[in-house]
Structures are given as C-alpha cells and as structure tokens.
Structure 1
Amino acid sequence: MKFAVVVFPGSNCDRDMYHAAKDSLGEEADLVWYQDANLEDYDAILLPGGFSYGDYLRTGAIASTSAIVNQLKQQAAKGVPILGVCNGFQILLEAGLLPGAMLRNKNLKFMCHFEDLVVQNNESMFTSAYTQAETIALPIAHGEGNYYCDEATLAQLQSNNQIVFTYANNPNGSVSDIAGIVNEAGNVLGMMPHPERAVEALLGGDDGLKLFKSVVNHWRETHVASA
C-alpha cells in the first residue's frame, strides 16, 4: 500500500505521518509537496498537522483553496481513504469535505497532552482494529480544536454513525465531545488528536497504530476481494 503525506507551507507533523506509515507500518510512503503532488498514484492520503500558511484568516482556510484540494475531492469521490489530523482536519472542514467548523479552545489556550478517547464506531475503515467503546489514549496539540456544528448537522452525524471518536473528558469544548468524524461514505476521517504520535510505546503509547493498521487491512481486503 502506498501513502501520500501532503506537505503544505507550515506543516510540521508531516515527518510523524511519514514515520507512522513507512517505519511503523512498513508500507510505502512519500512526502509530497502540495504544488507538485499527483494523488492518482496513491492508495491513501494523509493530511498532517501544523500551521498551514501560518493559520492566517482561519486554521486551514488558505490551504483549503489550493489546487490540490480539487484532487482531494476527486480521490474522496473514488473512495480513496483520506485522513486529516489536527490542521489536516481543519483543512477538510474548510474545503467542505467534512461538515462543521473549528472554534478556539474553550479555555482560549493551546493544549498539548494525552487525552482519553472512546471509539464510537469501530466499523469504519479507520477503526476496525479497535473494539467498540474501547478507550484509547492519543496526544492532542491544538489551540483551535473546539469542533462545532449546528443541531441539524449533529443529528445527521449521529444518525449516520459518522462520529468515530469522542473525548472521555472533553478538553476543548467540542460539541457532543466530538474528537473525530467521517464523511457519509466513510472514507474521509478528520480528527484533532494525533494517532501518528502514538505508534510506539517509546512515544508514550501505541494506541494510534491500530488506526493505520485498520486502513491497511481494509485496503488489502478490498484489493484481494477484487483481484
């Protein structure tokens, strides 16, 4: 399986994503500059965290207008797995690939520590290696991770089982404790906590590795079944 790690000006978690895919999983991975990338060549796409374009205007707002977003939308429509973490999640929201928006953390401070999450949907291509309602620990590192959506959108997320992760102890004020959501098709995941920073015990925990393994398992099952 071949992963693309899209690098924007201001990305700072791209190497973590690359390490998770290439070294921890043992799969192929490339760091691809957002202006030069041809996403047709990849089986999954990773949007890393950081401060794309310095977080000017709004987090992810400028990156969401770049030409590569058209490729992201095309690949999403084809069912290609797309994972956006932290700033990557913010870009997916701004690009309209996921519903909702990000607000400043309720305490108006940047937070960086491990948080307990609850797996709300273990039937997605990103979470099949977890058990339903499993509690996992992943690090957060954000100043604008307070997920917001209106009541109608929240009801839709709930009815479609699109809420994949929730916070056990909501640190940022996110509506309904939401930490991660997928699109209706289930192949685009946005989440604020960083699974790529929790792929080895040496890093403080390896609960994030199951997420990447889930993607690989889904891809192999799909391609073996269609071969």
Structure 2
Amino acid sequence: MTARIGVITFPGSLDDRDAQRAIALAGAEPVALWHADHDLQGVDALVLPGGFSYGDYLRAGAIAALAPIMAEVKDAAAKGMPILGICNGFQMLVEAHLLPGGLIRNANQQFIRRDQRLRVENADTAWTNAFAQGDEIVIPLKNGDGGYIADDETLKRLEGEGRVAFRYIGVNPNGSLNDIAGVVNEHGNVVGLMPHPEHAVEAGFGPDTTAAMRSGEDGAKFFDSAIAALAKAVA
C-alpha cells in the first residue's frame, strides 16, 4: 500500500508544493492539507513546510502553532505518527511544544541562504533511518530566524539522550547553540530542522557536488526514511 504523507499549507507557506513533489518522487502519495481544517484525511505521516506562516508576526511559527489543524497534529504526534517540520515548520513544532527549545533571529541579524553541510547525529528516527550516523550531507538553508536556543538543562538532555538529529559542520550559519541544526522528540517520530531537504531531491535542481553542478540529492533520504518507517510499522 502506498504511504500517504500530508503537507499542511498555512497562510504564507512557500515550500508546500516542493515538499509535495519530494514526497511524490520518493514514491509516496502527497496529500494537501489546510491549516484551518480539523481533518488529516487519514494520512500516515505529516510535513510542516517552510515559509513565513502568518507573515512570521509575533514570533516565527507562533501563530501557526495555534492553527486549528495543530490540535490534530499534536494528537497524531502523541500516537507516534512521523512528523517533519522544515524551517518554518520546525519553528511551529517548538512553538507548539512538540520539540524543545526555541528559534531566534540569526546571530548576524541577516537572512541567510546557502548550501549547508550537516552531520547526521541520529540515524534512528522516522526521518533519518536511511542515513548512517556520522554521514555528512549538503542541504539548502534559507532563514532569518534559525538560531536554535535552549537552556543548559535542555541542551544536556538533548545531547545525553541522542536527540540532536543534525549538526552544522564547517560553518554555523545562524549562531545555533552547540551547532544544532535539527532535533528529535523522545519517541523518534517528530523531527525538526532548519535546512530544506525538499530542495535536494532531484538531480539538476539540488546543491552542487563534486560530481556535477546541482546534482545533490541528499534530501531524498528524509522521505525514503519516512516511507521505510511506515512500512516497518505495518509489517
């Protein structure tokens, strides 16, 4: 049975169609969902995409975290559904307290756009199982409020429990504490990260590699991982 992965569109979402395309390229069925609904349409997994939901008023992701559909997202997370928050979606997940910490203005106070090197720190989540721990990947990054913060106790817990999913290497682009680029919840089903894997899924459109310009496809493994996790759950 083909996995059905929902992508929630909020006012100001920019990367919802890109996420849907990435899901389709991975072999799953993308399902468009709307922020004002209370219906997840029976999907097997969810993606909260990047953008500037509600214009990023108040704090990035703060208003979207209160959207009607987020009640269903919280219920689904508690039941173990794989949920991925990308950039603004990551901001929503921390604002909704589905992931710990917070995201603030980049340390240099500027919007950053670059192909970013990451190290996979946890390859045992619903969205990273196609990687090996320690893999170095390149994923596009574009944000203005990407500085990950948390109190000392939370940071120690994340590090000690292996819940840092990705770490910036080479350059820390936004001043994130401990070079953290993404984190995972304690059950391994909810992952958030600032870089955009949906922009690195198709040769000719991804980051440059040593093989060829725009040939990077490291982001495809995020969606492969979700499909594999869903298949394992029903096996």
Question: In the alignment, does 2:231 pair up with 1:213?
Answer: no
SS in 1 for 2:204: helix
More off after superposition, 65-74 vs 50-59: 65-74
Q: TM-score, normalised by structure 1?
A: 0.96
AA of the residue aligned to 2:223: F
Q: Report the identity percentage.
A: 48
SS across alignment from 1:216: helix
1:33 positional shift? 1.2
Q: Which residue of 2 aligns with 1:32?
A: 33
- Structure 1 residue 128, shift from structure 2 partner: 1.3
Q: What is the CA-CA distance between 1:36 and the residue it aligns to?
A: 2.5
3-state SS of 1:201 partner: coil
Q: What SS does the aligned partner of 1:116 have?
A: strand
1:163 aligns with 2:161: no
Amino acid corresponding to residue 175 of structure 1 in structure 2: L
Shift of 1:62: 0.7
**Structure 2: gaps (5+ residues):** 206-213
Structure 1 residue ranges (4+ consecutive) displaced by more than 6 angstroms after TM superposition: none
Paired with 1:40 and 1:186, the residues of 2 have a C-alpha distance of: 23
**Partners of 1:26 and 1:39 in 2: how far apart?**
20
Q: Which residue of 2 aligns with 1:93?
A: 94
The Cα of 1:19 is off from its aligned counterpart by 0.2
Deviation at 1:187, TM superposition (A): 0.6
Aligned length: 223
Q: State the superposition RMSD in angstroms.
A: 0.9
- Is there any run of 5+ residues in structure 1 with no aligned partner, and where? none
Distance 1:27 1:37, change over 3 A: farther
TM-score (norm 2): 0.93
SS in structure 2 of the partner of residue 60 of structure 1: coil
* More moved, 50-59 vs 31-40: 31-40
User: What is the CA–CA distance in structure 2 between the aligned matches of 1:37 and 1:216, rounded to whole Å?
Assistant: 24
